[in-house]
């Protein structure tokens, strides 16, 4: 039985709006918590909570195939992508990070080989994916121009970010076609083990880099702890699991449009909470992004066979 439209809409709200809001709360956390330690704390708490929920629901957690496949997906999806973004910001500014990171949607379209015939047959889908990238570029164009003098060794940062985007795309498609094909990963357990694997990788890096030593719990502000709680519950436990579920029932190219909408939400929250001004160029970028999402989502629903 196909999922209800309401359930699909709720899942898209999670990956569009809730994920977009995490940009702001990550920024609040990073004032007091080093980035790698933040990744370890966030995903360990979310993974442990999901594993507990799965246990209470009676799911069989300790299955080798489940753990191995989830670990691969979690490290490629969560750890590599997030770690690359953190490291790349040593070479480029946040505006360029946002622009290049949005190319994830294009990489998913290009690497989703099983869907090539369907995707490239639709001119609206291809045009929408390319237009979305242009829209994000417009959204950050002025910031990028004003910060251009701060970029050092930008080519290294762009290469790192591109690698991170490809990693996220590969992890997304692996999760869709390899993990989702297994009945054992249909529940929350797969997402829980993905986060556990990512948290372990972050923890190792944090220990090597000494990030944990820079975290003094009493020195971390209440707003940072509250933001971390938001990232754990809404950003990871709800939005990420919604993303994994959507990959099972919707085309990966369509789900990937979150990479275009998230920056829009981030800019809107920055204007609302941070008092940042929204310029005409950013409004133009917003219009292009909305048009791109409409074009991509215009495609007809897939058959039940394809959704599986």
Render pLDDT for 38-97 as a digit per residue (tens, 0 to 9).
999 999 999 999 999 999 988 888 888 889 988 998 999 899 988 887 777 667 766 677
Residue 160's pLDDT band (cuts 50, 70, 90): confident
Question: What dihedral angle (degrees, nearest 10) is formed by the CA atoms of 48, 52, 55, 60?
Answer: -10
* CA pair distance 209, 87, nearest whole angstrom: 12
Mean pLDDT value of segment 149-154: 56
pLDDT value of position 150 = 56
* CA pair distance 156, 160, nearest whole angstrom: 6
pLDDT value of position 50 = 94
Contacts of 254 (CB under 8 A, 6+ apart): 296, 297, 299
Residue 185's pLDDT band (cuts 50, 70, 90): very low
Residue 220's pLDDT band (cuts 50, 70, 90): very high
Tokens at 55, concatenated: 């246990």
Question: How long is the chain?
Answer: 308
From residue 232, how far is each of 43, 47, 197, 199, 288 by CA, in Å?
Answer: 7, 9, 15, 12, 31
Sign of CA dihedral 251, 73, 84, 219: positive
pLDDT value of position 43 = 95
Mean pLDDT value of segment 177-205: 79
Mean pLDDT value of segment 120-134: 90
pLDDT value of position 201 = 95
pTM of the model: 0.85
pLDDT value of position 303 = 42
pLDDT value of position 304 = 39
Residue 274's pLDDT band (cuts 50, 70, 90): low
pLDDT value of position 242 = 94
pLDDT at residue 142 is higher than 80 = no
Mean pLDDT value of segment 27-42: 90
Mean pLDDT value of segment 191-208: 93
Contacts of 176 (CB under 8 A, 6+ apart): 247, 248, 252
Mean pLDDT value of segment 272-286: 77
* CA pair distance 189, 59, nearest whole angstrom: 7
Residue 2's pLDDT band (cuts 50, 70, 90): confident
């Amino acid at each position: 039985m196909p999922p209800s439209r309401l359930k699909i809409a709720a899942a898209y709200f999670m990956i569009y709006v809730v994920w977009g809001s995490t940009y702001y709360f990550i920024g609040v956390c990073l004032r007091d918590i080093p980035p790698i330690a933040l990744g370890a704390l966030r995903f360990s708490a979310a993974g442990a909570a999901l594993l507990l929920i799965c246990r209470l629901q009676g799911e069989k957690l300790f299955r080798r195939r489940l753990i191995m496949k989830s670990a691969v997906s979690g490290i490629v999806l969560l750890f590599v992508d997030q770690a690359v973004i953190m490291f790349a910001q040593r070479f480029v500014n946040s505006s360029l990070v946002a622009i290049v990171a949005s190319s994830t949607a294009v990489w998913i379209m290009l690497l989703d080989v099983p869907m090539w015939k369907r995707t490239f047959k639709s001119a609206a889908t291809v045009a929408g994916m390319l237009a979305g990238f242009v829209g994000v570029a417009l959204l950050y164009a002025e910031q990028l121009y004003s910060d251009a003098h701060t970029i050092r060794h930008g080519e290294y940062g762009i290469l790192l970010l591109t690698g991170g985007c490809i990693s996220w795309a590969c992890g997304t498609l692996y999760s869709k076609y390899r993990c989702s094909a297994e009945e054992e990963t249909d529940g929350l357990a797969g997402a829980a083990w993905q986060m556990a694997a990512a948290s372990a990788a972050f923890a190792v890096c944090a220990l090597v880099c000494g990030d944990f030593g820079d975290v003094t719990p009493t020195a971390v502000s209440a707003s940072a702890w509250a933001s971390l709680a938001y990232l754990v519950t809404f950003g990871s436990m709800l939005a990420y699991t919604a993303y994994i579920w959507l990959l099972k029932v919707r085309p990966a190219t369509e789900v990937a449009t979150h990479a275009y909408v998230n920056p829009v939400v981030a800019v809107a929250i920055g204007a609302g909470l941070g008092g940042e001004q929204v310029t005409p160029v950013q409004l133009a970028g917003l219009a292009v992004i909305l048009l791109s999402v409409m074009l991509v989502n215009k495609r007809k629903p897939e058959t039940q066979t394809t959704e599986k």
